[in-house]
C-alpha cells in the first residue's frame, strides 16, 4: 500500500509495569533497585553494588517466599523501600490475601530522583480516612457467574467500569458484522509492514516485527478489528488492534542479543498491545509524509549510539525484570490447576511425579515439600472421588479447590501457614506468629536435616537398583552414532559391569509404534537393560519414557552428543554438519536414510528443528531434572578450527529454506519434492553434498575418534549402574525460606580458642571436660536478627552484607550448668559497623539435654544472680566470620 500511512498508539511499557506492580503488590508500589548502568551480569554482584533497599528487597522475598501473603509482604516492602506509593485499590479487598508475586526491575540510580520529581509534580490522592465502595470482589463476581464463561467475562468487565472497557465489542465482536469478523484479515500484517510510518513509534514497531519475522522467532502477531471504529471498516482506512504473543522464553534471550547488536531496538516485553490505524492520503500529503518519514529514518539510522543508550530503551540492564512468585500462589496455580490434566489422564502416581518435580525445580524447602505432598495427595483422592472420570476444568478449579483448602487449613496452625489463606480462616496480623510458632530462635538449622528429601519418581536416579530395569535412550539426531554405540555395548558381554541382560531395539527395524513395542518388551523382562536405539527428540517422547519407567519399574538415562549449541538449539552448526556428513556416507541403511536418499539434508534439518527453542543449558537442565542423570557422548574436538564459511553458508541457507517450507506447509505435511520449493530443495541438496564432501578432510579432522567416544560413554554408564554417578548441579539459584541472619563462625578456630582458655583457667577445663565440643560443636554463629523476634525487615536489612567477611572479637566465656556461650563484639564492613538486634551478641557453644539453644540468652542475667560464671578474654580474640542467611 504505497499510498497508505499509519499511526500506532502504543501502550507505554512503563505505565504497564506500573499497573502490573499495583496488582501484584497489593495497596503499595515500591521502588527497590538502584544499580549502576552497563553491568553485564548484574544479579551476582547485588551484595556489593546495590543500595540497601535493593538487597533488602531480595532478602525480604527469601524470608517470605514460602509463606508470604499480601499483608506481611507489603508491610515488609513498605519498610525496606526508598519510595512507597499507595495504589488506588487494595489488593486484599479486591483479590484477597493470596499474592501472586513481585516484579523487580533493574534501573539506573537516577530513577529514584526522577520518581520523586514525578510524585512531587503529580501527588497521589490522599487515601487515609476515605472509604471507597469497591463493589464485589473478583472472587464474588466469578462465583455468581461461574456457570457461563462469557457471562463471567461480561460481569468482570462491567464492574471494571467504562474507563477500562467502554463497550463489550472488543471482546465479543459486533452483532452488525458478526462474531466471525473479529479477527482481522491475515494480510493486515503485511500491509502494516509495507506502509510508510507516520511517526517514530510506528517506525520502531515495524522494526521490531520485521526483525522477529526475519529471525523466525516463535512469536505470533494477532490482529483484531477495532470495533470502536466500526464505522470506518467500509472505508479505505484500516483500524485494528495487535497483540504480540511470545511463545517461548528463549525468544526474549535471543531478542536481547539482537539488542546488543542494534542498540536502537525497542525492548520486547510480554503483553505488547497496540492500536494501529492505517489510512490513505491524497498524493500531495502522501509525498510530504514520505519525505518526513525518510528524514526520520535517516536521523534514526545516523544517530549516535550513545543517545539511544541514554534514553534507557536499548540498555540491556535497564530492561531486565525479575519475577518472584510466592508458594501460596504457586500451589494453587501450578500444583493444583496445572496438574489437573495429569491427575485425571495419567493418575495419582504421575501427578505426584509432576508436583514433586515442580517443587524440586523451585528449590522448595524439604519441610514444605513434605507438607505439600501430604496435602496434594489428599487433594488428588478428594477431587477424583468427587468428579469421577469427568475432569475438572482449569477455568473453574477454584470453586472446588478453595473449599478443600479451607477445610484442610482448619486442622492445624501449620496447615493454615501452608495454605496461606482460605476463606476467612487466617487472621493476617497473626499470620507470622502461626508460621513461626514453635520455632526456636537458634535451633532452625536442624529442621531440614531431620526430613528425608522426597524423590520425584523412579525415573529420577542417582543410582540404579539391581532389581529394577534400565532404559538407555538417545535425545539426538540421525548420524549421532547411537546405533553404532548400541552395537558396541550389545556385542561386549558384561561391558557395563552388570549381570543383567541387555537388549537393543532399533527403531528402523520395528514396524508400527516404536515406544509401545519397547513397553511391551519391558513388561516381559522388567529387569533388563534396554537400549532404545531411536532418536528421542522432544518433551512428548521424554514423557512417554517417564511413564514407561513408572509402569515397568525402571530408571532412564539419556545419552546425548556433546555440543556447544546455539542461542536457540542445543546442537551447533558444526555438529549438524558432522551428522549430515555421516548420514551421506552411509549405504543400505535400514531406514533408507543414507547417501541414496534425495532428501537426506531435509530430514536432518527436520530433526534439528525438533530441538528449536532450547539452548544447550536449558536442554541439559531439563533432562537432568526429568531423569536425574545425563551421559555425554564426545563428538567434536575442543581445539578445532572454525566452521568454513561455505559450510556455514550452505547450512544457514538450508535452515532458511526449511523455515519457508514449514511456514507454508507445516511440518511433515508436504515432502520437499512435492511443494512449491521443490526446485530450491533439489538444488540445495546437490550443493550441500558438494560442499560437505569438498570439506571432507576438515569434517574428519574435527571429530573425536569413535573408539574414544565409546569408551567414555561406557565409563559414564558404568558409574550410573554401579551407583557412583552424581547428578551435576544445574546452576539454579536455591531459594530458601529465610528465618534469621547470622555471622557464621569457623568451629575449628573456636575450639582452638577454648583449648587455650582451658589451659589457663582450671574451672573452664573442668567445665569443658565432659562436653566433648571437638565432636559435638559442629556449627556456630552469631545471630543478628530473627524473623520471629525482630521482624522480616530487620532480617532483610542485612542483605547488603551477605557473604561478606566480618571480624568478630570474642571478649568473654559465660557458662552455667545448663548452657555456655562466647560473648562477642561485631566489627565493621567497608566502614559500616555491624550490630546485632539481640541485646547480648554471643555464640552458643553448648546446652544441656532438653534445653533449647535460645536459653543461652539468659546467661548475663544468670551471672548477675550468681548462677553463671564469666571468664574474660583479654585481649579479645578476633575471628573472621561470614554473614549468612539461614
Residue 6 has pLDDT above 60, yes or no: no
- pLDDT by residue (tens digit) across 293-321? 555 555 555 444 444 444 444 444 555 67
Q: Establish whether domains 463-564+614-636+704-722 and 740-885 are of one fold.
A: no
Read off the pLDDT band of 604 (50, 70, 90): very high
As a whole number of angstroms, the distance between CA 433 and CA 72 comes to 11
Residue 445 has pLDDT above 50, yes or no: no
Name the residue among 637, 656, 653, 659 with its Cα closest to residue 690: 653
Confidence at residue 459, expressed as pLDDT on a 0 to 100 scale? 43
Choose the weakest-confidence range: 50-54, 284-288, 473-477, 690-694: 284-288
Q: Which CATH superfamily is domain 463-564+614-636+704-722 in?
A: P-loop containing nucleotide triphosphate hydrolases (3.40.50.300)
DSSP 448: G
As a whole number of angstroms, the distance between CA 807 and CA 827 comes to 5
Confidence at residue 2, expressed as pLDDT on a 0 to 100 scale? 31
As a whole number of angstroms, the distance between CA 202 and CA 275 comes to 10
Confidence at residue 695, expressed as pLDDT on a 0 to 100 scale? 94
- pLDDT by residue (tens digit) across 167-194? 777 666 665 444 434 555 667 888 888 8
Task: Kindly list the domain boundaries of the chain, sorted by start residue.
Answer: 1-134+167-324, 326-450, 463-564+614-636+704-722, 572-610+641-701, 740-885
732, three cell numbers: 539454579
Structure-model confidence comparison of residues 490 and 170, the more confident one? 490
What is the per-residue burial (b if ≥16 Cβ within 10 Å, else e) of 461-484?
Answer: bebbeeebbbbbbbbbbbbbbbbe
Structural fold of domain 740-885: 2',3'-cyclic nucleotide 3'-phosphodiesterase fold (3.90.1740)
Instruction: Tell me what the mean pLDDT of segment 202-224 comes to.
Output: 86
- pLDDT by residue (tens digit) across 562-581? 998 888 889 999 999 999 99
Give the burial class of 577: count Cβ atoms within 10 A of its Cβ; 0-12 exposed, 13-18 middle, 19 or more buried: buried
Choose the weakest-confidence range: 1-15, 394-408, 817-831: 1-15
Confidence at residue 199, expressed as pLDDT on a 0 to 100 scale? 81
Q: Three-class SS of residue 401?
A: helix
Residue 428 has pLDDT above 60, yes or no: no
pTM of the model: 0.63
Confidence at residue 22, expressed as pLDDT on a 0 to 100 scale? 36
Choose the weakest-confidence range: 294-308, 757-771, 862-876: 294-308
- pLDDT by residue (tens digit) across 687-741? 999 999 999 999 999 999 999 999 999 988 888 776 555 444 433 444 457 889 9
As a whole number of angstroms, the distance between CA 739 and CA 787 comes to 5
Amino acid at each position: 500500500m504505497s499510498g497508505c500511512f499509519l499511526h500506532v498508539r502504543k501502550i507505554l511499557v512503563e505505565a504497564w509495569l506500573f499497573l502490573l506492580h499495583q496488582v501484584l503488590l497489593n495497596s503499595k508500589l515500591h521502588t527497590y533497585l538502584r544499580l549502576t548502568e552497563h553491568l553485564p551480569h548484574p544479579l551476582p554482584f547485588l551484595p556489593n553494588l546495590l543500595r540497601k533497599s535493593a538487597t533488602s528487597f531480595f532478602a525480604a522475598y527469601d524470608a517470605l517466599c514460602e509463606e508470604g501473603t499480601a499483608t506481611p509482604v507489603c508491610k515488609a516492602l513498605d519498610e525496606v523501600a526508598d519510595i512507597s506509593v499507595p495504589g488506588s485499590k487494595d489488593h486484599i479487598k479486591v483479590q484477597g490475601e493470596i499474592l501472586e508475586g513481585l516484579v523487580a526491575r533493574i534501573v539506573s540510580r537516577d530513577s529514584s530522583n526522577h520518581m520523586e520529581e514525578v510524585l512531587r509534580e503529580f501527588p497521589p490522592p490522599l487515601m487515609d480516612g476515605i472509604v471507597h465502595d469497591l463493589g464485589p470482589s473478583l472472587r464474588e463476581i466469578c462465583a455468581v457467574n461461574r456457570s457461563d464463561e462469557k457471562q463471567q467475562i461480561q460481569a468482570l468487565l462491567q464492574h471494571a467500569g467504562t474507563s477500562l472497557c467502554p463497550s463489550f465489542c472488543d471482546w465479543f465482536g459486533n452483532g452488525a458484522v458478526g462474531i466471525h469478523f473479529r479477527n482481522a484479515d491475515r494480510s493486515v500484517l503485511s500491509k502494516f509492514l509495507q506502509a510508510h510510518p507516520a511517526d517514530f513509534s510506528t517506525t520502531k514497531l515495524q522494526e521490531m516485527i520485521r526483525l522477529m519475522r526475519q529471525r523466525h522467532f516463535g512469536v505470533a502477531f494477532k490482529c483484531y478489528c477495532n470495533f470502536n471504529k466500526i464505522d470506518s471498516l467500509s472505508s479505505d482506512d484500516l483500524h485494528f488492534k495487535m497483540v504480540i504473543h511470545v511463545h517461548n522464553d528463549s525468544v526474549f534471550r535471543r531478542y536481547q542479543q539482537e539488542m546488543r547488536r542494534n542498540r536502537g531496538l525497542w525492548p520486547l516485553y510480554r503483553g505488547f498491545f497496540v492500536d494501529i490505524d492505517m489510512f490513505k492520503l491524497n498524493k500531495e500529503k502522501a509525498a510530504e509524509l514520505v519525505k518526513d518519514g525518510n528524514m526520520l529514518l535517516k536521523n534514526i539510522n545516523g544517530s549516535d549510539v550513545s543517545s539511544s543508550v541514554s534514553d534507557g530503551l536499548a540498555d540491556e540492564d535497564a530492561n531486565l525484570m525479575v519475577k518472584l512468585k510466592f508458594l501460596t500462589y504457586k500451589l494453587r496455580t501450578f500444583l493444583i490447576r496445572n496438574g489437573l490434566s495429569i491427575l485425571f489422564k495419567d493418575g495419582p502416581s504421575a501427578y505426584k511425579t509432576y508436583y514433586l518435580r515442580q517443587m524440586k525445580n523451585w528449590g522448595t524447602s524439604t519441610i514444605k515439600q513434605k507438607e505439600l505432598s501430604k496435602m496434594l495427595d489428599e487433594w488428588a483422592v478428594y477431587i477424583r472421588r468427587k468428579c469421577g472420570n469427568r475432569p475438572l476444568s482449569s477455568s473453574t478449579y477454584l470453586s472446588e479447590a478453595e473449599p478443600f483448602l479451607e477445610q484442610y487449613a482448619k486442622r492445624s496452625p501449620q496447615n493454615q501457614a501452608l495454605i496461606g489463606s482460605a476463606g476467612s480462616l487466617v487472621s493476617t496480623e497473626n499470620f507470622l506468629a502461626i508460621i513461626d510458632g514453635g520455632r526456636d530462635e537458634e535451633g532452625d538449622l536442624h529442621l531440614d536435616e531431620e526430613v528425608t528429601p522426597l524423590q520425584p519418581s523412579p525415573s529420577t536416579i542417582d543410582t540404579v537398583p539391581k532389581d529394577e530395569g534400565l532404559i538407555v535412550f538417545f535425545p539426538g539426531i540421525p548420524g549421532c552414532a547411537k546405533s553404532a554405540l548400541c552395537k558396541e555395548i550389545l556385542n561386549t558381554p558384561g561391558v557395563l559391569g552388570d549381570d543383567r541382560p541387555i537388549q537393543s531395539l532399533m527403531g528402523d527395524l520395528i514396524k508400527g509404534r516404536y515406544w509401545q513395542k519397547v513397553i511391551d518388551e519391558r513388561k516381559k523382562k522388567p529387569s533388563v537393560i534396554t537400549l532404545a536405539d531411536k532418536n528421542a527428540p522432544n518433551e512428548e517422547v521424554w514423557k512417554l519414557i517417564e511413564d514407561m519407567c513408572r509402569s515397568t519399574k525402571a530408571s532412564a538415562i539419556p545419552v546425548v552428543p556433546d555440543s556447544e549449541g546455539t542461542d536457540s538449539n542445543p546442537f551447533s552448526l558444526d555438529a549438524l554438519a558432522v551428522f549430515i556428513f555421516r548420514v551421506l556416507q552411509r549405504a543400505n541403511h535400514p531406514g533408507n536414510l543414507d547417501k541414496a536418499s534425495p532428501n537426506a539434508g531435509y530430514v536432518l534439518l527436520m530433526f534439528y528443528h525438533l530441538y528449536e527453542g532450547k539452548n544447550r543449558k536449558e536442554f541439559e537442565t531439563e533432562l537432568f531434572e526429568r531423569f536425574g542423570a545425563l551421559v555425554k557422548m564426545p563428538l567434536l574436538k575442543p581445539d578445532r578450527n572454525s566452521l568454513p564459511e561455505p559450510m556455514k553458508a550452505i547450512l544457514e541457507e538450508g535452515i532458511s529454506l526449511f523455515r519457508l517450507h514449514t511456514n507454508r506447509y507445516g511440518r511433515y505435511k508436504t515432502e520437499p519434492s512435492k511443494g512449491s520449493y521443490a526446485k530450491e530443495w533439489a538444488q540445495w541438496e546437490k550443493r550441500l553434498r558438494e560442499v560437505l564432501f569438498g570439506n571432507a578432510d576438515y569434517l574428519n579432522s574435527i571429530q573425536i575418534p569413535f573408539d574414544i567416544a565409546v569408551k567414555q560413554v561406557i565409563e559414564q554408564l558404568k558409574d550410573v549402574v554401579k551407583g557412583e554417578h552424581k547428578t551435576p548441579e544445574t546452576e539454579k539459584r536455591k531459594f530458601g525460606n529465610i528465618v534469621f541472619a547470622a555471622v557464621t563462625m569457623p568451629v575449628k578456630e573456636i575450639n582452638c580458642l577454648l583449648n587455650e582458655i582451658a589451659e589457663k583457667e582450671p574451672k573452664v577445663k573442668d567445665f569443658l571436660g565432659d562436653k566433648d565440643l571437638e565432636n559435638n560443636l559442629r556449627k556456630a554463629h552469631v545471630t543478628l536478627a530473627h524473623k520471629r523476634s525482630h521482624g522480616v525487615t530487620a532480617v532483610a536489612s542485612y542483605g547488603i552484607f551477605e557473604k561478606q567477611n566480618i571480624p568478630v572479637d570474642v571478649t568473654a566465656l559465660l557458662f552455667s550448668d545448663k548452657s555456655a556461650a562466647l560473648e562477642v563484639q561485631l566489627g565493621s564492613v567497608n566502614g559500616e559497623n555491624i550490630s546485632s538486634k539481640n541485646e547480648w551478641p554471643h555464640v552458643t557453644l553448648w546446652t544441656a539435654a532438653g534445653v533449647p539453644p535460645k536459653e543461652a540468652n539468659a546467661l548475663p542475667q544468670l551471672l548477675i544472680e550468681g548462677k553463671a560464671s564469666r571468664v574474660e578474654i583479654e585481649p579479645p580474640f578476633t575471628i573472621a566470620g561470614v554473614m549468612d542467611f539461614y
